[in-house]
Structure 1
Amino acid sequence: MGRVRLIVIGGDAAGMSAASQARRRLGSGDLKITAFERGEYTSYSACGIPYWVGGLVDGPGDLIARDPATFRESGIEVHTGHEVTGIDLAARTVTVNGRTESFDHLVYAAGATPIRPPWAGTPAGGVFGVQTLGDGAALQQWLDGGRDSAVVIGAGYIGVEMAEALQRRGLRVTLVERSGQPMSTIDPDMGALVADSVRKLGIELRTGVTVQGLETSGGRVSAVVTDDGVLPADVVVLGLGVRPNTALADAAGLPLGVTGALATDLGQRVTGPDGIVEGVWAAGDCTQVTHLVSGRPAHVPLGTHANKQGRVAGINIGGGYATFPGVIGTAITKICDLEVARTGLSSKEAEAAGFRFVTATVESTNRAGYFPGAVPMTVKLIAEKDTGLLLGAQIVGRTEAAKRIDAFAVAVWNRMTVTEMTALDLGYAPPYAPVWDPVLIAARKAGDAL
């Protein structure tokens, strides 16, 4: 019997984590691994692109964890510039760059693609999504040509980060958001704090505004047309979110979940109404996950999840045992010196999931109030009314604020009540926290609200 053949579609976090774990468990004589990546790069940090564009880090080399040559040295064949265009489950083959390759195991890790409305389909230059390192390189090249004004469409995580990056490059930046607040994954009162800070930075933030189209001149974008007027733009960046890249999987007959992403079991095997699809695995931004608080299927594209899911798939392919149970929606970002974080459910999400809940919001400081560098932060908790379980938390503040979300994330993950949280033995010293840490103050106030 010949070597087992593993084909990986996608050369970033999920796919290459799966390949690396499988290789560690099975020697080169037992397993042949071939990875196909349609872009130029492998295993890179897409999350670092805004900081590269803003000049805070060098790139693209600094954003690459492992290049194709490194993978080849470890016995993983990597082919960049190779796009898989077909999957034949019955024949156990894929079509790539016009040829056919056979597999025993297939890891589908094609990631996600930026949402591009019809009006963004112009062939004119200057309109960019920011999903891959190639996207970042293209944007950098465009900016190097000398630009004055930018419009960022969508004020989610990538939108606010790119708005800051472009402002750091010296451009006049307008940030456009269709909803009534930036960062709609946090509650409106917390979003209002973000909006105030963004405007104080000199970024023009327009909320409740819908983009209707683009104007072009001389083969390049010149303005963004909205229901609130026309905004001049030498560059337009799309921050409208992403959708799972599952067109190839769908065409092959692989079952999709209710979110439009691939559904898997706990071991990352692709599953559907008829059960497990034998020998086919999926990981990363193209997959559906379970939100462990609401219990509902969700699509939460993050590099942290992609790496974990790829690792789980690779361990199982290699004969081990690992599981990925789900997510709780933890996320964090910064806009200049403003830090924003969340975990669990927002009020809107808790209501949609059918919870009866209370909220508690507190103002505190990152350090003892008398210690140099003490700055304010706002913490909001959401707790189930009947049980006191912590359902979610949000933080908006400055230095040393946002990483406190990790304490709340651990509490949500382990189904702690806010009353239990008030007794947590957290570290204290004036340079790091008040004697009552904001985590404890918020938990105590939520307990009072119950």
Structure 2
Amino acid sequence: MAAKPLYAGMGLHDAIRSAFMGNYEYLQVLDKVKKSDMSLDIARSVFRTHFNASLRSNAVVGAEIGQQYRMSLSRKLSDGSRVEAGVYTSQFDTSALSEFRVQYTRPLFSDPERSGVLALNKAERDKKYSQRVSEVGAEELTARVIQAWYRAYLAEQGIAVQRTALDASNKLVAAVKAKYVNDLASGFDIEQAELNAARSRQTVKDSEALLENDLDRLKILLGLNPEDEVDFDFSLLADRQVSDIPEEVEVLQQMALNHRLEIIAIKESRDFALQRMNIINKRVGPPIDLSIHYALVGRGGSLGDTFEVDDRRIGVGLNVSTDFALATEKNQAKLAVLEYEQAERSYRYITATVKTEIRRAVRQMSRYEEKSLLARKTVELGEKRFMLAKKRYDDGQIDVIELLENQRDLAQLRQSSLTATIDLELARLNLDLISGQLRDKWQLPQANQM
């Protein structure tokens, strides 16, 4: 009893859904999206309220031992300033001090990068970028599944044609042997017919092995185990409206520039690099922080005595950290310019590449349309030739050998026509993919609907 297929009647839409759920490379892309979500949350945490605490033990020369405690809440604002409120205490054997301090620190030369706003913007942009990459990956995966599906369908149909040719070759052998009995054919004719039949038999075996390899690759692409039994229901997309290309090459190129997600992503990367370069180039000096604080201070012989306020203090502070040659700031400015130039160069390169891809795809599609039309006309002529041969055979004008040869030739012509049709469909698929029209023109499952 044959084993029941693990997946019965899997159509193309089912295959695409399976790929979205199990394809290794696509799942890796989705993991990057999750990582970008976490990175964005980390970037946002800079502007959340933070709790700070510390405990330190000290020994004063003279064998006096004490502890210092510190607890505070701090929050960084979007302009780079910081607000902090906390309690600070120190206690020794003979004295103690407590201080409640509120402090506000503001940078004199604030900008979005130093304040952390630019890093937050970058994290948000990276998240959008990773989401777009996942969408691009879904489209490319869909195209790869369709390509593999069509190739397997073509191989399966090809085997059927080759089996028909093999059957015709076997009948030819029998017919030649019958003629040989009647002295109408030679031994060489029999050997030639048997050799042709053996070649047809070997072609079928080779095609079956290649189909098995194609099916294994298709299963891996769909996230399945190659050992799984899958009953693929191979067919072409019949619900897609096939039409000629109404758009000019320039229109398709502009559609690609407007809709291709990777182009949008690299354009945003370039704009971000330009923004960062302008921010850094406008800096007037190293980071300098000005702080002001107000504190209530209590002193006493024990920690409990310090809860009564003895002093009220107001303080001002200034903090700067840089090297004397300002090398850090200068190198940051040069690096920002270099990063922008690289991003601009990448944008120009991918724009030119996409335009070239569109032109190449249009030329390829035009060529395949001509081949498909020629193949259809050839099949029509082959069908007429076979019908004529069948009529002549019925009238006794030709023998069965010539009829079988015509039948075999017609099967091969139909296989060539099917190959041309699939090549044309894949050319359309490629053009729709690179011009950003795949989701709109092909009625296929979407990754965001899984």
Q: Name the TM-score, length of structure 2 as normaliser.
A: 0.18
Q: Name the TM-score, length of structure 1 as normaliser.
A: 0.18
Query: 1 or 2, which has the higher helix percentage?
Result: 2
Asked which structure has the greater CA Rg, the reply is: 2
